[in-house]
Chain A
């Protein structure tokens, strides 16, 4: 299994440009998440999904959109990029087991710079 994969690894955007960060997992996990991590800080939840066709906002959703058409893929869309969106973006997934903790598995991250 490849686990959670993210593309691209690095990207530089100009202010106002748009892009889609790709995330895929091959572990048949229902739950998927997008986080951003600013330098020296913790991770902030942007959006999450508990299954195909279902998405919900996290702590910092403004400026982002997501879709979940399949169990495997959970792309994150940035519209009108701003310098404040310069960050490292992590995608994660987990398999829900009722009554127990479900470890989140993280992808390698995408380093995005907006200039």
Chain B
């Protein structure tokens, strides 16, 4: 089976950089993705790593290391609107997603 672990909460101030880690135990998957979810809202896609290394999308970057069973989401130039929950997810096939436990990010002024 698959399991993905994330820290439950991270706090930071506006303008800072924060890293949200995701460690996983899985027998195989196509890639690691990240979704953002504001309170009361639906998850929205942020980024995807099919290969090891860093993927950059504006202020957000995501990293994957299959040999270390580890990935992270890096958020730069934090803004108040970045306060949300962030989920990593693996794709085992058929475009299914197995989600991590989620990290709640609180950004303070």
Contacts and interface: CB of A to CB of B under 8 A. Distances in A.
Interface size class of A (residues with CB under 8 A): 20 to 34
For B33, B44, B48, B97, the residue with the greatest tally of chain A CB atoms inside 10 Å of its CB is B97
Interface string B1-16: 0001000000000000
B95 A96 contact: yes
Nearest to A99: B50
A31 B99 CA distance: 17
Interface in A62-115: 90, 94, 96, 101-109
Contacts, number: 54
Nearest to A100: B50
Interface size class of B (residues with CB under 8 A): 20 to 34
A105 B98 CA distance: 15
Contacts of A96: 95
A90 B44 CA distance: 12
A42 B42 contact: no
Nearest to A101: B48
B91 A101 contact: yes
Contacts of A44: 99
A16 B42 CA distance: 28
Contact of B45 (A40, A48, A59, A104): A104
B33 A101 contact: yes
Given A90-B43, A101-B30, A101-B48, 18 more contacts: A33-B97, A35-B99, A42-B4, A43-B87, A43-B99, A45-B96, A45-B97, A50-B95, A56-B94, A90-B42, A94-B95, A101-B33, A101-B50, A103-B45, A103-B48, A104-B97, A106-B42, A107-B42
B91 A45 contact: no
A114 B87 CA distance: 26
A12 interface: no
Contacts of A90: 42-43
